[in-house]
Structure 1
Amino acid sequence: MKEQVDTASVAKEADKNASLNKAAPAKAKSLKRSSIVSELKATAQETQFELLQYLQKQVEAGAVQDVHSYYVVNGIAVTATKEVMEKVASFQEVEKILPNETRQLFVPEKSAEALLEPKAETNSIEWNIYRVGAPAVWEMGIDGSGITVASIDTGVQWNHPALQSKYRGFDEATGQVSHENHWFDAVRGQSAPYDDQGHGTHVTGTMVGSDPDGSNAIGVAPGAKWIAVKAFTAAGGTDADLLEAGEWILAPNGNPDLAPDVVNNSWGGGAGLDEWYRPMVQAWRAAEIFPEFSAGNTTLTNPGGPGSVANPANYPESVATGATDINNH
């Protein structure tokens, strides 16, 4: 849709009001996130109203198969006939129509050298953790405690020994688990976390993993809790599923107070300008959700260098992360 919310301005106004009311930091953050979600929903409801009414009539007529509204980007996913889509394009509220593309995960290729064991680094902490300087930060008392991280990936094996105690839905004291508000499956709608590809579990381990007794730290923030969204299968992740995933991150089950502090995205499109997901990232930023994206891999058609970072990692609001192996390759 043409009308988009300036989420940064909404956040700034919320901060101003919180300061005037001398709100505590946690309360100020909650008010800001709620203000952003409320404004996004109000704008989407107003600007999508007539179009959604038309589409519902077409559903009843059999010309539309599927309709899904997204308030964060103020867009609608539609599966319909050519005639319906041409009519949709004529609505003055509509800015553009885009195909429901499939995005891919960025999976680093392991070289033979990368499989070598580190020689100078202790086995209790993985080489990659040392490489980014995480132990030095831990010595400052910063290990992710009090922070929630999220991933949009292939899912997570929540009861993996290196991850179970870090799952926000798991109560280590009682052994009870609740997946509501801590997990969302945009692909199949399963109520409990699972990972049929393994990638999301690996990524979550890199973020927070360690052995149950605290040894063998495989994650950079072993004190953090995690939540997750499944938006990818072996074939990739569709734009529609990624929009639904991103919306859940901003407000899990509609509650912005349950949003994470960090969201990891090991996926993307090609290099160059493609701002289809930018309103989502802008909303995350405004809500104090740190958006990490993989920079992408080199390929025959993208050998690297200036301008080679993939979208959404190349948005001004994103933080792009590259990768190296044990030999700095």
Structure 2
Amino acid sequence: MSRDALILIYGILLLLILIPFSSAEEGQEKIDSSLAEIIERGGSEEIPVIVMLRPDEDLPSDSMLADEGISVKYRYQIIPGLAGEATGQAIDGLAKDERVSGIYLDRSTMIFQSDSPASAVQENETDRANSSSPPENSTLQEQAFDSELSLEGYISPAQVIRADRLWEKGIDGRGITVAVIDSGIDKNHPDLVGKVVAEKNFLSDEITADDLLGHGTMVAGIIAGSGAASGGEYRGIAPGADLISVKVIDGQGDGKVSDIIAGMEWAVYSGADVLSLSLGGINLGETNPPITTAADNAAAAGVVVCVAAGNRNSSENQATVAKSVARSSSSSNHVDSENAESGYLESLAQLMSGREHGEKEDDAVRVLQQGGSEQQDVLLLLVPVVVALPPGLIDSPGDGVKVVTVGAADSSGRMAGFSGSGPTRDDRIKPDVVAPGVDIISTVPAGLKRPVYVDDYYARESGTSLSTPVAAGMAALLLQSGDNLTAAGVKAAMTELSGRDL
């Protein structure tokens, strides 16, 4: 046998050895690391997953996927993908499908609250810092305030940002709908009666849409509470706004990414103008996992999406003043929204009533020109973060590009020690703004074990969970006061104008 023939035979044998190995590795880069670790452990149990598809692609029917070991829970419109459960073998098969761009573990998330709110003010005042990262499954009771903390001299978030100046002009959020993506809302609370115009429960283990945790009701009160039970003292930022209750967090403070994405999608199609998401803890290790993509896509479709920066600031210096650039606001800033996107995003936007995807933002500050300094005053404490802040983790979906990521400050404008301060994993500056989030009093359902009540109707807490609805309420005021102001325009107004001299 000639030398050339031997080389050919050896080459063929080598290919036969490598082809199965290559086939086994095909598509593995599409499986995120957390999911890959579970698959490597073996076992035949189904794993909760979210499958991201390439634009304009789709997978077979639910029944056909079931035959392949994949049970479908949701097929999304807000992202190109679906959620469900699949065996490890089925996941490996999906990874080899050219239509699939990524497969993620459907991870648990949690509400964002600080673990020691009562000490947050003292830490800020004395510039002392102790790590205040909350435990993964911390409860509201563990995060409770000292019940003896004085209420004397309390200043509500609405007072801090001077929202009353806009209320006097008839700008109170009327005609704007804010969706609270959280643990539900107590519709019977005196401050929230008649506020909830739609509700939906996405949890399989709780049959009621009622708030069994108290967190969603607190968020709702900050946004649109009437203050009826307090003589107006604890009125929300936009008391004229309507609310949509989207229950994705259970009575223990836990939720699933797949439910949150479905909740966001439902809220968008139900006509929400603003989404408020005081949740996170996902930490998928990427800048655009499914939930971040969903949040950004909601914003691209014309909805203002306000997201908590999180309470995982691990810095030793947690008492940074959230400064801003001080300039005259006599001239207008022109900010263009991003070009219209193709494929499913464009279709999503066209389906939304009253919104045109890709519209230009002729003047992002026009809303503030109509009312002079009174309207500018409301932006006093929603300041853009333009100085180097201590590093603190920003979790999904707060790492989104188009969302408004909100950090927490005390009533004097000092950055809260617990507040996530960025940057993101890809070195973008976050949060976009900070708002009051320390020592906040708001509405809660009666009779729950976890909130620390200041009276029968209100409780006190700290966290970026509480600063996020301040920004969401402010977005409602801006949308009401500015004709045709888009989501991009609202974010521009918050981040570009809020730090100017008033």
User: Do these two structures clear the TM 0.5 threshold for a shared fold by scoring above it?
Assistant: yes
Cα drift, residue 272 of structure 1: 6.3
Out of 267, 276, 288, the residue aligned to residue 275 of structure 1 is 288
**CA drift at 1:261:** 0.8
Instruction: Report the AA paired with residue 225 of structure 1.
Output: D
CA distance in 1, matches of 2:299, 2:88: 36
Q: Partners in 1 of 2:253 and 2:156 — Cα distance?
A: 31
Q: Is the 8 A contact 1:2 1:93 kept in 2?
A: yes
Amino acid at match of 1:314: D
**Separation of aligned partners in 2, 1:161 and 1:222:** 13
* Cα deviation, residue 54, structure 1: 3.6
2:162 is the counterpart of 1:111: no
1:96-134 CA distances to partner (integer Å, 9 max, x unpaired)?
Answer: 111111112112342157643353x6xxxx522211221
Task: Give the one of 256, 259, 272 matched to 1:260.
Answer: 272
Aligned: 1:320 with 2:338: no
> Deviations 1:262-308 (Å, cap 9, x if unpaired)?
11000123496431223322332233211000111134489772463
Conserved? CA contact 1:272–1:307, under 8 Å:
no
Q: Which amino acid aligns with 1:164?
A: V
Counterparts of 1:105 and 1:146 in 2: how far apart (Å)? 28
Percent sequence identity over aligned pairs: 27
Alignment of 1:25-104 (within 5 A): 43=56, 47-50=57-60, 52=62, 54-58=64-68, 63-104=69-110
Match in the other structure for 2:226? 210
1:68/1:113 CA distance change after superposition, 3 Å: closer
Deviations 1:158-195 (Å, cap 9, x if unpaired)?
A: 11111012222xxxxxxxxxxxxx11111138776300
Distance 1:309 1:49, change over 3 A: closer
Contact kept in structure 1, 2:313 and 2:393, CA below 8 Å: no
SS of residue matched to 1:284: helix
Q: Pairwise mapping of residues 129-278 of structure 1 onto structure 2 (< 5 A)? A: 129-168=158-197, 182-188=198-204, 193-212=209-228, 215-233=232-250, 234-252=252-270, 259-268=271-280, 269-270=282-283, 273-276=286-289, 277-278=291-292
- 8 Å CA contact 1:70, 1:244 repeated in 2: yes
Q: What letter corresponds to residue 275 of structure 2 in structure 1?
A: V
Q: Please give the root-mean-square deviation of Cα atoms over the aligned residues, in Å.
A: 2.8
Q: For 1:285 and 1:76, how far apart are their aligned partners in 2?
A: 20
Amino acid at match of 2:273: D
CA distance in 1, matches of 2:284, 2:165: 34
Change in Cα spacing, 1:134 to 1:193, as seen in structure 2 (3 Å) is same
Q: Hey, what does 2:311 align to over in structure 1?
A: 297
Offset of residue 216 of structure 1:
2.7
Shift in alpha-carbon separation, 1:272–1:66, aligned structure 2, 3 A:
closer
3-state SS, counterpart of residue 96 of structure 1: strand
Larger helix share, 1 or 2: 1
Gaps of 5+ in 2: 1-51, 122-148, 319-388, 417-502
Q: Per the alignment, do residues 189 and 205 of structure 1 end up closer, same or farther by CA in structure 2, a change over 3 Å counting? A: same
Extract unaligned runs of 5+ from structure 1.
5-42, 169-181, 253-258
Contact 1:184 / 1:228 at 8 angstroms: preserved in 2?
Answer: yes
Deviation at 1:154, TM superposition (A): 0.7
Partner of 1:18: none
- Aligned in 2, Cα 1:67/1:311: closer, same or farther, shift over 3 Å? closer
Please, which moves more after superposition, 228-237 or 155-164?
228-237
* Amino acid paired to 1:196: L
Deviation sequence 1:71-94 (CA, Å, 0-9, x none): 221112131221111111111100
Q: So what's the TM-score if we normalise by structure 2? A: 0.47
**Alpha-carbon distance change, 281 to 130 in structure 1, aligned in 2, over 3 angstroms:** same
Q: Match of 1:230, as an amino acid?
A: K
Shift of 1:70: 1.5
AA matched with 1:245: G
Distance 1:164 1:313 in 2: 31
Say if 1:300 and 1:290 are closer, same or farther in 2 by CA, change over 3 A.
same
Q: CA deviation at 1:231?
A: 0.6
Distance 1:297 1:323 in 2: 9
In the alignment, residue 57 of structure 1 is paired with which amino acid? D
Which entry has the higher C-alpha Rg, 1 or 2? 2
Partner amino acid for 2:236? G
Contact 2:293–2:400 (CA under 8 A) maintained in structure 1: no
Give the drift of 1:251: 1.1
Structure 1 residue 325: Cα displacement: 3.7
